[in-house]
Amino acid sequence: MTLALPRLRRITPKERKDLLIGLLFALPWIIGFIGFTLYPIASSFYYSFTRYDLLREPVPIGLSNYIRLLTDDADFRIVVYNTLWWVLFSAPTGVLSAFLMALLLNTNIAGRSFFRAIFFFPSIVPVVVTAFVWLFLLNIQYGAVNATLQTIGLPIVPFLSDPKIVKPTLILIHMWAQGAAMVIFLATLQDVPRSLYEAATVDGANSLRRLWHITIPMVSPVILFNTVMSFIGGFQYFTLPWLLTAGGPNQATEFYSLFLYRNAFVYLRMGKANALAWLLFIVIIFFTALLFRASGRFVYYAGGSR
């Protein structure tokens, strides 16, 4: 028995011309993608197996960068602990803060548009400006927060200079700047059918029951999205701790991105920095896949499937 293979249709001159014109228009993007995405990724992967300081030619050393990081680098263990602590606490608290603000702004309160603008404002302010504002507010000597504490008879709190409370301080700042996630939640809350709330009210469900059995399931896809984005952003958290604490005090805020930056541009250990980048990539992929794997238990979509 012989299989009849389909005959390939010959491309007409007009189709070939259209293809060439399409490729010509796409050529700037293709060149940019290869030059600014594929080539840097491939170079980074190669340099992670080398000893490279930007001044001399890279020297291949195999898996030494990865082995030293995972077995001999004490600073790396501190950085991993700080980063995991940050991700595990900042992601849930940030999503919860955004969700609660969206719930508040979804009610019929006076001045709702004004409060929506105020709550969203931190998201559009440059991070550098945010950092300097918080440096002023939390300063021990002249900060507004400690001045207020002194006025009411409370002791001064070293928010950014005490290793025990500096990470919770950053958590509070992180919760304050959740305007973008809040807007996404707010748009989703307004799409929840009013008929569901009306039916639940007729059945005698109170506000908490309506929240738990209607609101949360209906916005669960957005909760998943914001949680995934918070986890990814948490592993790459850099700007605020760099500007506020520079990794201190006593390495209490030396997060992964700060450690990577120091190795790359302060110590010029580009091979080690690239190895750090690829380890971070693997960890982010793992946690993202884990979140999507676990999401089947609590994420509900409009069609009723999980």
Residue 46 in domain: no
Residue 142's pLDDT is 87
Residue 6 in domain: no
How would residue 203 be classed by pLDDT, with cut points 50, 70 and 90?
confident
Q: Over the stretch 39-91, which tens digit does the pLDDT of each residue have?
A: 999 999 999 999 999 889 999 999 999 999 999 999 999 999 999 999 999 99
Among the ranges given (8-12, 199-203, 296-300), the one the predictor scored with the smallest mean pLDDT: 8-12
Question: Quick one: which H or E segment has residue 232?
Answer: helix 216-235
Q: Which residues pair with 51 in a beta bridge?
A: 59
The residue among 174, 170, 152 whose CA lies nearest residue 161 is 170
Residue 54's pLDDT is 87
Residue 216 in domain: yes
Residue 260 in domain: yes
Instruction: State what percent of residues in the chain have pLDDT above 70.
Output: 95
Strand 50-51 versus strand 59-60 pairing type: antiparallel
CA distance 209 to 215: 9
Residue 254 in domain: yes
* Token pair 């796409």 in the structure block, residue: 26
Residue 265 in domain: yes
Residue 5's pLDDT is 59
How would residue 301 be classed by pLDDT, with cut points 50, 70 and 90?
confident
How many residues would you count in the chain?
A: 306
Residue 22 in domain: no
CA distance 60 to 91: 38
Mean pLDDT in residue range 195-222: 90
Residue 116's pLDDT is 87
How would residue 3 be classed by pLDDT, with cut points 50, 70 and 90?
low
Whether 302 shows a pLDDT value over 80: the answer reads: no
CA distance 146 to 237: 26
For residue 255, the enclosing domain spans 64-295
Residue 195 in domain: yes
Q: Over the stretch 18-46, which tens digit does the pLDDT of each residue have?
A: 889 999 999 999 999 999 999 999 999 99
What's the CATH number where 90 sits? 1.10.3720.10
Number of domains in the chain: 1
Mean pLDDT in residue range 8-16: 80
CA distance 73 to 256: 13
